[in-house]
C-alpha cells in the first residue's frame, strides 16, 4: 500500500492543483454526456422539442448521480479520514459496500422509472408535444443506471485513493466515445433522439469497465469478495459523510422539477407558450451544471487533502486549503458570469434555436432565452461558494452542518419560484434564482466564520 504522508507534508497549493484539476475535468466530462446529447439533438430535425425531452429525463439521471455520490463521496471522505487517523485496514470493506449500495440503488431507480412509465415523465414537466421523445430517450438511458452509478461511485473513490488522473482518464474515454457516437447514431444511422441515448450508454459502459479495472491496482486498499458483505457499522458512517452530496443532488432534482412545471404553467399564459420556456430553461441548466461542476470539482478534489490533514490534526493546513478553495471558486465563477452576461445568444445558439420544429419562431425563443439566462445565472458565484462550503464541512466530518447548508439555496429557490412569478409572470421563475443565491450566501457566511474560528482555536 502506498504511503499517504505526503498529503500532510507537501505544499497545499501544489496538492490542490494535483487533485482538483483532474477532478474538475472529470466532473465536466461526466456532465458532457447530457450536454453533448442536447447539442446534437437540438440541432437535429426534432429541434427544441428534443432539448425539452432530455430535460424531462434530467431529474431521473440526477437522482441516480446523487445516489452514486451518496456512497461514493461518503466512501472517499471516510477513506481519507481513515488514512489520516492511521486506520486503513478496513478501507476495502467501505469501498465494497459503497459499490454494492450504488448498484442496488441504481436498480431501484430503473424499477420505479420503468413501472411508472410516462406518468412519471408528465410529472417531471413533460408535455403532449415532447412526451414521446422523452419516452424514447429515457427507456434507453435507464437501462445503464446501475452500472453508471457504480462507475460514478468508483470515480470518487479513485480520486481519494490518490489517483485523480486515472478517474479523469476513465471519464474522458467514455465522453469521447459519446461525442463520436452522437453524430453517427443521430444523423448517419438516422436514430434521432434514441441514437443520442445509445451513444451515452456505450460511453458510460466503457468508463465503468475502466474504473472496475482500477481495483486491481488500488493504492491504499485491496478489494476482496468479502469486501461486498454488507457492514452495518461502516456503511452508516459512509452515508453520513455522503449525505451532503446526496442532498445537493436531490435538491437539484426538486428545483428542476419545480422550475420545469412552473415554466410550463406560466409559459402557457404568455406569448411564449409552454415549450419555449421549458426548452430555454433546460439549456440554462446545462450551462449552470458546467459551472457548478467546476466548483464542486475544486472542493471534491480537495476532499482527500482536507480529510487527511483534519484527521492528522494539522488544522493550519486545513485553513490554508479553505482559503485556496474559496479563492479558486470565486475567481473562476466570476469569469463565467462575465461570459454569461456578455455572450448569451452565442451560448444558447450552440444548443439549437429551432432546428426542424416548424412551429417554433426562433427569434421568439431567443427573446425569452437571452434575458432568462442573464437573470438566472446572475449570482452563480454565490451559488458555487455556498455549495463549496457545504462540501468542505463534509470533508472535515461536520455532517450535521454540511447537510442543511447543502440544500439551503435550493429550498429558498423553490420558495421564491412559487412567490415571485405571482407578480412577474413567467420571467419571475428566473428571478427566483438570484434572490435565493443572495439569501443563501448571507446565511452561510456566519456559519463559515464560526468554523474558521473553531479551527483556529484547535
pLDDT in tens, 216-244: 888 777 888 887 887 788 888 888 878 76
110, 141, 249 from 148: Cα distances, Å: 12, 10, 16
Going from the C-alpha of 149 to that of each of 170, 200, 417, 448, the distances in angstroms are 14, 14, 30, 32
Low-confidence ranges of the chain (pLDDT < 70): 1-5, 33-34, 42-48, 84, 86-89, 244, 352-361, 458
* Count of Cβ atoms closer than 10 Å to residue 177 Cβ: 18
What pLDDT, on the 0 to 100 scale, is given for residue 107? 93
Using CA atoms, how far apart are residues 429 and 422, in angstroms rounded to an integer?
9
Query: 75: number of CA atoms within 13 Å, CB side?
Result: 33
Backbone angles phi, psi at 214, to 5 degrees: -65, -30
Q: What is the grid cell recorded at 320? A: 490554508
- Do residues 203 and 143 touch, judged by C-beta distance below 8 A? no
pLDDT score, position 359: 46
For residues 386 and 318, give the distance between their C-alpha atoms in angstroms, rounded to a whole number: 18
Tell how far CA 83 is from the center of its chain. Answer: 27
C-alpha to C-alpha distances, 36 to 75, 177, 257, 271, 411, nearest whole angstrom: 30, 11, 21, 29, 29
- pLDDT the model gives residue 356: 45
Q: Are 131 and 118 in contact (CB under 8 A)?
A: yes
3 state SS of 355: coil
Tell me which residue of 375, 376, 349, 457 sits closest to 43, measured CA to CA. Answer: 349
Pairwise CA distance, residues 450 & 100, whole Å:
37
What pLDDT score was predicted for residue 400? Answer: 77
Query: Which residues contact residue 308 at a Cβ distance below 8 angstroms, ignoring those fewer than 6 apart?
Result: 4, 7, 8, 80, 81, 83, 84
* The Cα angle at residue 62 between residues 50 and 82, in degrees rounded to 5: 155
Q: Which uninterrupted H or E stretch holds 43?
A: none
Check residue 327 and give its pLDDT.
94
> How far is residue 174 CA from its own chain's centroid?
17
CB atoms within 10 A of CB 420: 20
Whole-model pTM: value is: 0.72
Q: Confirm if 186 and 195 have CB atoms less than 8 A apart.
A: yes
Gyration radius of the chain over CA positions: 21
CA distance 127 to 146: 28
- DSSP code for 218: -
Q: How much of the chain is helix, strand and coil, in % rounded to 5?
A: 85, 0, 15
Cell of 297: 470539482
C-alpha closest to that of 303 among 215, 409, 393: 393
Amino acid at each position: 500500500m502506498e504511503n499517504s504522508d505526503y498529503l500532510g507534508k507537501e505544499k497545499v497549493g501544489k496538492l490542490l492543483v494535483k487533485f482538483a484539476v483532474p477532478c474538475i475535468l472529470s466532473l465536466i466530462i461526466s456532465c458532457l454526456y447530457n450536454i453533448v446529447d442536447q447539442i446534437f439533438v437540438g440541432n437535429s430535425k426534432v429541434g427544441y422539442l428534443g432539448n425539452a425531452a432530455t430535460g424531462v429525463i434530467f431529474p431521473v439521471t440526477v437522482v441516480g448521480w446523487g445516489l452514486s455520490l451518496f456512497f461514493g463521496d461518503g466512501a472517499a471522505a471516510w477513506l481519507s479520514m481513515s488514512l489520516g487517523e492511521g486506520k486503513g485496514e478496513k478501507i476495502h470493506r467501505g469501498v465494497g459496500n459503497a459499490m454494492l449500495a450504488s448498484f442496488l440503488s441504481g436498480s431501484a431507480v430503473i424499477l420505479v422509472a420503468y413501472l411508472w412509465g410516462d406518468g412519471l415523465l408528465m410529472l417531471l414537466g413533460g408535455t403532449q408535444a415532447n412526451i414521446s421523445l422523452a419516452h424514447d430517450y429515457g427507456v434507453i438511458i435507464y437501462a445503464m443506471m446501475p452500472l453508471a452509478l457504480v462507475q460514478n461511485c468508483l470515480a470518487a473513490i479513485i480520486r481519494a485513493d490518490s489517483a485523480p488522473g486515472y478517474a479523469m482518464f476513465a471519464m474522458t474515454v467514455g465522453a469521447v466515445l459519446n461525442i463520436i457516437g452522437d453524430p453517427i447514431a443521430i444523423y448517419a444511422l438516422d436514430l434521432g433522439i434514441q441514437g443520442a441515448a445509445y451513444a451515452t450508454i456505450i460511453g458510460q459502459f466503457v468508463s465503468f469497465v475502466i474504473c472496475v479495472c482500477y481495483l486491481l491496482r488500488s493504492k491504499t486498499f485491496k478489494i476482496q469478495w468479502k469486501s461486498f458483505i454488507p457492514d452495518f457499522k461502516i456503511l452508516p458512517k459512509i452515508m453520513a459523510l455522503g449525505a451532503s452530496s446526496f442532498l445537493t443532488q436531490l435538491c437539484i432534482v426538486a428545483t428542476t422539477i419545480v422550475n420545469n412545471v412552473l415554466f410550463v404553467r406560466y409559459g402557457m399564459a404568455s406569448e411564449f407558450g409552454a415549450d419555449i420556456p421549458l426548452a430555454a430553461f433546460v439549456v440554462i441548466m446545462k450551462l449552470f451544471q458546467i459551472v457548478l461542476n467546476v466548483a464542486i470539482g475544486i472542493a471534491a478534489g480537495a476532499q482527500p487533502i482536507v480529510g487527511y490533514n483534519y484527521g492528522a490534526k494539522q488544522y493550519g493546513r486545513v485553513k490554508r486549503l479553505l482559503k485556496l478553495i474559496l479563492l479558486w471558486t470565486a475567481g473562476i465563477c466570476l469569469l463565467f458570469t462575465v461570459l454569461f452576461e456578455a455572450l448569451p445568444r452565442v451560448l444558447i445558439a450552440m444548443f439549437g434555436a429551432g432546428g426542424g420544429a416548424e412551429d417554433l419562431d426562433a427569434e421568439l425563443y431567443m427573446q425569452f432565452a437571452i434575458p432568462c439566462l442573464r437573470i438566472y445565472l446572475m449570482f452563480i458565484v454565490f451559488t458555487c461558494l455556498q455549495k463549496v462550503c457545504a462540501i468542505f464541512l463534509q470533508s472535515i466530518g461536520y455532517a450535521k452542518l454540511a447537510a442543511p447548508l447543502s440544500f439551503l439555496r435550493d429550498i429558498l429557490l423553490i420558495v421564491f419560484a412559487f412567490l415571485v412569478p405571482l407578480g412577474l409572470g413567467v420571467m419571475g421563475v428566473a428571478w427566483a434564482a438570484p434572490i435565493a443565491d443572495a439569501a443563501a450566501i448571507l446565511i452561510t457566511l456566519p456559519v463559515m466564520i464560526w468554523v474558521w474560528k473553531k479551527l483556529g482555536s484547535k
